[in-house]
Amino acid sequence: MATGTFDIIHPGHGYYLQESKNLGGKDVKLVVVVARDTTVRSRKRVPVVDENQRLEVVKMIKPVDEAYLGSITDMFKVVEKIHPDIITIGPDQNFDLEELRKELSKRNLKAEVVKITGYKRSPLDSSCKIIRKIKETEFKEDALKHC
């Protein structure tokens, strides 16, 4: 199980998802949990793309077998439903791994927690960098008119 916001897709997302999938054995199934708009807003920033569209795009990415929206109230609800063998944390996600493991064990959930290290470097390798690039780019006046 992998998780994230997936606001604007970049190669780092593909890397994280493929590395997550590689941890599974034969008959591996990669399930992705996409963060809800309210969660993104409170933990990070206003999401550009809404949760349903982010979910749809995640489903288009090669290693993804299934994808769901997370719960608004309790991030462990979806873990209790999916019962993953492994939960992966993205290279740029700042979860406290020990806290997460403790909480899982408290709820009697046996998932292993693995931090994906390494990163796929690109000029715009985070949604945040893409947003900033757009904010800084001057488009010609009519370039964004007809859409």
Task: Give which of 63, 68, 81 is closest to 32, Cα–Cα.
Answer: 68
Considering CB under 8 A, how many residues would be counted as binding a second copy?
38
Contact assessment for residue 14 and residue 62, using Cβ atoms and an 8 Å cutoff: yes
> Which residues have a Cβ under 8 Å from the Cβ of 71 and sit 6 or more positions away?
36, 77, 78
Which residue, 115 or 133, has its beta carbon nearer to a second copy? 133
- Tokens linked to 2: 């992998």
Contact region for a second copy (CB under 8 A) — 19-27, 102-110, 111-119, 131-139? 131-139
Tell me the sheet residues that pair with 2: 32, 88
Chain residues 2-61 in contact with a second copy, contact rule CB under 8 A: 8-11, 13-14, 44-46, 48-50, 52-53, 56-57, 60-61
Tell me which residues touch a second copy (CB under 8 A). Answer: 8-11, 13-14, 44-46, 48-50, 52-53, 56-57, 60-62, 122-124, 126, 128-135, 137, 139-140, 143-144, 146-147
